[in-house]
Amino acid sequence: MKHDELTKLKGGAVVSRLGLGTAQLGGLFSSVADEEGQALIDAAIDRGIHYFDTAPHYGKGVSEKRLGRYLAHYPRDSWVLSSKVGRLLVPTDKEDDSFFLDADNSVERLNDYSESGIRRSFEESLERMGLESIDIVYIHDPDDYPEEAIKFAYPALEKLRSEGLVKSIGIGMNYNEIPTRMVNETDIDVVMNAGRYTLLDQSAADELFPAALKKGVSIVSVGVFNSGVLAHPSPDSHYFYEPAPAKIVARALEFQSELQQFGVTLKQAAIQFPIRHEAVACVVVGCRSAASLNQNIENFDREVPAEAWEVVDELIAKYRKQDL
């Protein structure tokens, strides 16, 4: 399976097997110059990346504005875009953003999963990106608002879908329980699953993936490096946005060591692992530069021997048994 192979999600959106996340265009952890951002998108298009993901949260609208501007150089039917709803951006004079260094600090984020809030969020995203429609829209991290997400946000997205303003609708989260409820209780098309089907955490396969397969819901896998520990395992690594526990770093290092005998790197196994599951339609990764993008493409495309996957599966089984 190659990065530029296309696959159709439930609802009709067609995406490349490898997509590009664009939190970095909002200056996540470090500033990104405009020309660097355009060069990244140019390289992605040139290499056959067909799917781009953003959100109002990323730089408080800056990622959306930049991505819309960069993609405007290319025909609308040559790329697929997803964004998210659930956070409005409202005027403020009191907030800085320590995570997104290019953020628009004239606004602050306000959680709003009401039907009117979802519609407003969607329409403001269209305005920021200069678009008339968005291919895929996710309800973004309703961790503390599960009932609102199901009772109000979902029906609002369903209306947008019925109006032809969106092709595929869904939910994007770091956890499994609420997305599993959404799959079972609504008619969503896609789940963006962050970090819960990786070499270190396969919890999405317990209930979420079987439910998705039963209803034909597509899974988009993100966070495949678990915040970095599966890219560069060390005592300074992060796991789920926090400093990685020693036992997690040790596990990542064991995967790395065992894979070396097959000439396979940890990054190659980590980026390819989710796509092995039949529920997963594509993988989305964030890249800061064209060079980083090209490395991720090479890691995604390089064939991993069956013997290496056998060792991976054995290690996963060992660790799951230990954790019971």
Q: What are the residue numbers of the active site?
A: 58
Q: Which amino acid is at 144?
A: D
Residue 18 CB contacts under 8 Å (≥ 6 apart), including other chains: 3, 4, 49, 51, 282, 283, 284, 285, 296, 297, 300
Q: Which amino acid is at 75?
A: P
Name residue, tokens 């990346």. 49
* Max CA separation in the chain (angstroms): 57
- Phi, psi values for residue 177, rounded to 5°: -65, -50
Q: What is the dihedral of CA 77, 154, 212, 172, to 10 degrees?
A: 70
Distance CA(202)–CA(315), nearest Å, equals 12
**Smallest Cα–Cα separation from 54: which of 14, 100, 11, 10?**
100
Alpha helices (H) along the chain: 34-46, 62-71, 115-129, 146-148, 154-162, 177-185, 208-215, 246-260, 266-272, 290-301, 306-323
> Hey, what are 281's tokens?
């339609």
Measure the N-to-C terminal CA separation of the chain; round to a whole number of Å.
33
Reported in sequence order, the residue ranges of the chain that DSSP labels E, i.e. its strands, are: 6-8, 14-16, 18-21, 51-53, 80-85, 87-91, 107-111, 134-140, 166-173, 190-194, 218-222, 238-239, 242-243, 280-286
Distance CA(157)–CA(76), nearest Å, equals 22
Reported in sequence order, the residue ranges of 278-321 that DSSP labels E, i.e. its strands, are: 280-286
